[in-house]
Amino acid sequence: MEKILLALDPKNLNMSSVDFACYLSRLTHSRLTGVFLEDIYNEEPDLVHTTQKEPDRDHPTISLSSISSFKVACECRGVSTLVHRDRGVPADEIIEESRFADLVVVDAETSFARRNESVPGRFVKDVLLESECPIIISPFSFDSLDEIIFSYNGSKSSMFAIKQFTYLFPELQQKKAIIVSARANGEDSLEEQFKLKEWLKNHYNDVEFVILKGDPSDQLFGYLIERKNGIVVMGAYGRGMLSQFFRPSHAKLIVKTVNLPIFISHY
């Protein structure tokens, strides 16, 4: 991996996300590009992707101050960095940038709406749906990464996410890999478990298989709330388990209590 993007709101610079993105950059020896999303329209959530908006003339001093803080933080952490100032509709800007990146890091609470939103808000959901490279939702605090939790439900999307993560992060092959199988229609076949374990053991030294029974998103939430110092790997956001995992009844609890980064990749 060579290019990591960090989506940033210059009016609300999240240093926890900066710290986590710097960790990934050091781990993979990649350059970190801070994408400062300047919302010139200051749109309401229901106006994303429309054209009839009035430009916001905020003073640029806020962005310049945030950019300076970002550069200093990266320099202190020994991270090579670039800065992009993207002025327009934030979701559109970072989605366009994602076509030319290996990974996008975003904070689940990032929002450019004038009124309070649920978490994740419209901006993050749009990015999850339309990003053209994998995404990591950063945790609200980060200490270390000791295990990888692969969420597997038998779909092409979940297996593709496992492969994408493994190929992007060969540096983590010494970490423990936990395959959490959650399906609404029953358990995996023994043959499927064998094939999945066989593939993973070609890339990871320590592999564990966990089967969850019951509602997939509820069981996964219950499992993850007990974990720490790991990263969760999931398939495409949309109608699948990930979107159910982020339903309103869970979303705020996930952000506040499941303090784990989440890797999402589209199939």
Q: Name the CATH superfamily housing domain 3-138.
A: HUPs (3.40.50.620)
User: What stretches in the chain show pLDDT beneath 70?
Assistant: 42-60, 118, 184-188, 237-257
pLDDT at 204: 96
The third-level CATH classification (topology) of the domain covering 147-264 is Rossmann fold (3.40.50)
- Which token pair is 73? 């933080």
What is the pLDDT at residue 245?
Answer: 59
CATH 3.40.50.620 residue spans of the chain: 3-138, 147-264
Task: Output the pLDDT for position 26.
Answer: 97
Going by C-alpha positions, the residue among 59, 46, 129 that lies closest to residue 89 is: 46
pTM for the model stands at 0.86
b/e per residue 250-266 (b: at least 16 CB within 10 A)? bbeebbeebbbbbbbbb
Round to whole Å and give the CA distance between 106 and 83. Answer: 15
Q: Helix or strand or coil: residue 264?
A: strand
CA distances to 180, 195, 257 from 205, in Å = 17, 16, 29
Q: What is the pLDDT of residue 51?
A: 45
Residue 45: per-residue pLDDT: 45
Please report the pLDDT score of residue 29 as a whole number. 96
